[in-house]
Amino acid sequence: MEKVIKIKNLDCAACAAELSEELQEIEGVNAATADFINQRVSLSYESAEALEKAIGVIAGFEEVEIVDGNAPEKRESRLKEILSIAISAAFFVAGLILTIFGGDGRLVFCLRVSFWIASFLAAGWEVGFNAGKNAVRAFKGGFHPSVLLDENLLMLVAAVGAIAIGEYMEAAAVVLLYQIGELLQSVAVGSSRGAIKRLMEMKSDSAIRLTDGGQEEVEPEALEAGDLILIRRGDKVPVDCIMTEGESELDTKSLTGESYLREVKAGDELLAGCVNEGNAFSARVLRPYTESAVAKVLELVENSSASKAKPEKFITKFARIYTPVVVLLAVLIAVIPPLFQNFNFAEWLVPAIEFLVISCPCALIISVPLTYFSGVGALARVGVLTKGAVWLDKLAAVKVAAFDKTGTLTEGKFSVASAEGGENVLLYAAAAEKNSSHPLAQAFATIDTPYVAEHVEEIAGMGIACEIGGNHVLVGSSRLLRGHGVEVEESISDMVTVYVAENGVLLGKIGISDMVRPGAAEALSSLKKTGVKKIAVLTGDTAERAAETLKGLPVDEVCARLLPDEKPLRAGELKQEGTLLYVGDGINDTPVMAMSDVSAAMGGLGSDAAIEASDFVLAGDDLSALPKAVRGAKKTRKIVAENIVFSIAVKIALMAVSLAATATGAFALPIWAAVFGDVGVMLLAVLNSMRMRRRLS
């Protein structure tokens, strides 16, 4: 059994990892994942008893609360934290003023110590409370050092140590700076989470279904294929549909990231999630809500944080081992050097505390997942959906890009442009193609034919063999006909040519037109500017026709006449030249997607199989979003590297300075500087992560 539990107040990756670990240790819980980005816990459990225990653990974990799924979501309040910080800051400033202007009298000394103690208590009570709760939790069902030795305990030890050596101002500064840092971190994470929540609002709450009796308001999930719906000005398109009458303009920003309005008319396909900014119109439902573009978008965004990139996984595992190790090192620093310096333990207590505070890995365990999460959100805003942060790293490394031709580089909207050889040529083809799932078959969908095809055999990559009125009919490529002994003189044309043969005799041919997507040339050129060295096209079409169709596109290689089973082999060869990205739209593209290092599917026209097999989805079928996605992935990777290098470098430098200062006696590094090495570095890393919130261009 599986269940998703909505929560709130889980605000860091380390806490999420701890909660997941505790849940997985419950007997009867097979798997558990706590998601601090989407604020939910996904459980796989065997019994109601296991679920009840899991709910108890979640409810008792730090400040986490379980949210009623039916209750309206309340705006997150930070009044308690702000009030604690304000009171602590007021007392701290009062103590600082007395230190500067109050003189050295005993009364003044007592007053300023009282102010600093009050400042420490105002900001530090929550730190102590959380450290105490974690101490209790750490010994439940065995010993969990990562639960005990968290940031709250480190800060509490630093503050109490400062009080023990008479540094009252340092103690107040430690907890005050820490609480300010926690508040700003919470605001930053909440801001990124809000960006995704706004994306989730693209789902329509209701739809107007037109019936014989008039109109009825229903949920989008209640609509079925074939239903007639009314979309008024300002309404969101509830499901994927086709416009039946009228003209209007749609705001497609939620899917494509583009701010301009798209003009639509009767016969145009409309994707769910767009907003009608023009006249009211009626539309026919193409597919149910669960298969619509908006449902795919929301599912991908909700699940994107489950698949972590290697740096994320490393940082999470690293933090579990790292924290106990640095605590041990801090103890050794406090104990071993004094043994060789006349047992002067008080002198080495401060650097030990500073080492403990500086070494806290919170800058990494917060900023790295936040950067990837922000990267996923940035790509979603330009209409590219990713199935997990792990694929951002893959996309950033792409050197070779391969494309399917039909429906990917071309519009994939086929229509009959010409027919030669008599009336039966078109009627036979229409009868045969009604049994095909190939994209070309849609060109014959509107042609009425009196014939019915029987004993239909679809030959992958070639066409259809069937019987019509007792005659053996072939409809497809020249290779299909030649394979059955029919002589064909192949014509060179920029159109797709379908040949028709009856009882071994060529009847005629049909020309089917398909246009290159607007903006395809610019999109491929932009893709090369991102660092992609080679662009190839894999197609089953003839080399001549593919070259004619793709004329003007910056394509380096056209691999033509490929059968479905030959495409993965060619993709394997392209992989030898660098990390391979494959972009396709059909069922026959799924084996190539599996072979490629990273893949993308056309979300609007693409088949469910292709979308399922791909790592990215172009929600609006907009190729111009692809180079933006590559740039976004590279930017994400760069910021992650910057945060890791910066955090580690600053911490190592401060730890070295602290130890060297004490060993030489030259000066003493103040504890507040150590707190900056933790909280300050964390804030700078988080702010750097927030650069991913900017619009990709």
Residue numbers annotated as active site: 404
C-beta separation of 20 from 33 below 8 A:
yes
Tokens matching residue 495: 């159109």
Strands (E), 303-360: none
Beta bridge partners of 42: 4, 33
Residue 216, H or E segment: strand 214-218
Backbone phi and psi for residue 421, each to the nearest 5 degrees, phi listed first: 115, 10
H-helix or E-strand containing 282? strand 281-285
Phi and psi torsions of 150, nearest 5° = -100, -175
Closest among 621, 600, 382 to 520, alpha carbons compared: 621
The token duo for 4 is 């998703």
Contacts of 519 (CB under 8 A, 6+ apart): 622, 623, 624
Evaluate whether 146 touches 203 at the Cβ level (below 8 Å). Answer: no
Residue position matching structure tokens 């110590």: 113
Nearest CA-CA partner of 182 in 353, 391, 394, 360: 360
* 573 Cβ contact list (under 8 Å, min separation 6): none
Rounded Cα gap, residues 617 and 603, in angstroms? 5
What span, in angstroms and rounded, lies between the C-alpha atoms of 297 and 215?
Answer: 28
CB-based contacts of 30, cutoff 8 Å, min separation 6? 44, 45, 46
Contact (CB, 8 A) for 454 and 465: no
The token duo for 457 is: 């055999």
Exposure class string for 615-651: b at 16+ Cβ within 10 A, else e: bbbbbbbbbbbbbbbbbbbbbbbebbebbbebbeebb
DSSP classification of residue 690: G
Say if residue 303 is exposed, middle or buried (CB neighbours under 10 Å; 0-12, 13-18, 19+). Answer: middle
Cα distance between residue 270 and residue 257, in whole Å:
16
Instruction: Report how far residue 276's alpha carbon sits from residue 514's, in angstroms, rounded to the nearest whole number.
Output: 28
Q: What sign for the dihedral angle of Cα 403, 417, 486, 548?
A: negative
Give how far the C-alpha of residue 492 lies from the chain's centroid of Cα atoms, to the nearest Å: 44
> Which residues partner with 472 through β-bridges?
467
Residues 6+ apart with CB under 8 A from 301: 196, 199, 200, 376, 380, 385
In the block, tokens 């009856």 appear at 502
The number of C-alpha atoms within 13 Å of 450 and in the hemisphere containing its C-beta is 3
* Spatial distance between the Cα atoms of 269 and 285, rounded to a whole number of angstroms: 10
d(Cα 696, Cα 344) in Å, to the nearest integer?
57
